[in-house]
Structure 1
């Protein structure tokens, strides 16, 4: 366990160093945060176009919370880039498992998503005439953390599908978060979709967590909020298990075929 934590620590340090090399605070604020705030505001303006303040609130909250799931899915790029760089053999030989490295590889994106989503949730509603119930609205912050973790596991699982085909990483990442945008209740309720799509939505991250946030902000019963959060945690745990099994399968196949050092 000590070796696992040590490797995870250094993996996270490397990830944040990479992020700092890519962004300055100025470029992050203007080029990333502002962009995502504008994205969420765009959907809110659609609600205004429909002439419904209820739709505006639904879209603002949904798209603000969605940001953390979207950024967590960028772990697809981080993990596949490690394989593309030819580091998988070193991970397999390391004192900790390759799973520890892969799961720690995108924590900078998760951290950015938690910050961006929290800022969006507490700054955009007042701009569109929406009053957040304070201080209970602050309870949405740990919910955003849970959603981010669940989406991170989902993104890690998706990355397993393209670890052997790095050229497809952008397609995999874009599809992973667009699926959440379309079907997890961000812009339209889950029950809008046909039954089979609703069933798929139940095992997607964000679906239950976003429902919990909406229920909290609407003053709904605590029991319903707790139930939705429990489902979100279960979904997230399930995706982490899938990711662990997927990473193990990549290594198993690589060893059997002698392709651990091959990136494509």
Structure 2
């Protein structure tokens, strides 16, 4: 029976086999992350950059003479930092082409999808850690927000949820970046500002009309609303936005799977990704 399975030319579609491939790729992503950073370079470099970015954006509110706007933007900027690391999944996905392993993944029994999604796990963790750190710093700094209360325990949950949805969005676009690797940095860099604006992270007021609908469908939007509810101590009011953020992330996960399958199909027909 085992030999028949090994001799089969069909792709592996058993959930256990696909999950094993995903898990192995996730381990590789963690090793790549450890090779890229040391604790002192991560804390003293990457995290400081994120906190400085949140402080800079919050200063915009102070320039217009409104502390409430500054505090609102500070929370939004801390949430948006979840996408900073997550969107790096787009250029990092094209490293498989540079290393010459993308074509091997395409023709492998498990296919391209579980490997690519597994390699993006470190981006999810990175985004969650950065957003959690920024949110805790903002909550500890703002005078009207109490960090030490039960509702603040949800901050890491929101951070991971926003990193999850942002990573799934990045992997959706990674399918295009795999086919056109020269556009990888252009895609990831030009996405940051529109995502930050359309999600309402740095807007002085809550988005309305069509912009409100867009913010509900994009990553970060629901999570930002939930974190602002937590800042007011409304843990119950933050649960619905948390659920919305997870649903948005799951929708983008489905889109990412479809995008990577299109990239694999295109590569198979045209002998690409080499």
1:244 aligns with 2:257: yes
Find 1:141's aligned residue among 145, 156, 163: 156
Find 1:232's aligned residue among 245, 268, 272: 245
Larger Rg: 2
Range moving further from structure 2, 48-57 or 236-245: 48-57
Q: Tell me how far 1:203 sits from its aligned partner.
A: 1.5
Q: Tell me how far 1:216 sits from its aligned partner.
A: 2.3
Task: Give the distance between the partners of 1:249 and 1:118, measured in 2 at CA.
Answer: 34
Report if aligned partners of 1:190, 1:201 keep a CA contact under 8 Å in 2: no
Find 1:47's aligned residue among 36, 61, 76: 61
1:157 aligns with 2:172: yes
Task: Give the distance between the partners of 1:93 and 1:227, measured in 2 at CA.
Answer: 42
Task: Give the distance between the partners of 1:5 and 1:236, measured in 2 at CA.
Answer: 19
Task: Give the distance between the partners of 2:63 and 2:205, measured in 1 at CA.
Answer: 22
The C-alpha deviation readout for 1:171-206, integer Å capped at 9, x for no partner, is: 11112222211110111057547x444443332111
1:79 aligned partner: 93
- Give the TM-score of the pair, scaled to structure 1: 0.89
1:184 aligns with 2:230: no
Q: 1:229 to 1:147 in 2, by over 3 A?
A: same
In structure 2, the gaps of 5 or more residues are 1-14
Task: Give the distance between the partners of 1:203 and 1:191, measured in 2 at CA.
Answer: 15
Q: Tell me how far 1:118 sits from its aligned partner.
A: 0.9
Q: 1:175 to 1:121 in 2, by over 3 A?
A: same
2:270 aligned partner: 257
Range moving further from structure 2, 30-39 or 86-95: 86-95
In structure 1, the gaps of 5 or more residues are none
Task: Give the distance between the partners of 1:121 and 1:44, measured in 2 at CA.
Answer: 13
Q: 1:149 to 1:21 in 2, by over 3 A?
A: same
- Give the TM-score of the pair, scaled to structure 2: 0.86
Find 1:203's aligned residue among 217, 222, 231: 217
Q: How many residues are paired up?
A: 259
Find 2:40's aligned residue among 23, 26, 51: 26
Q: CA RMSD in A?
A: 2.1
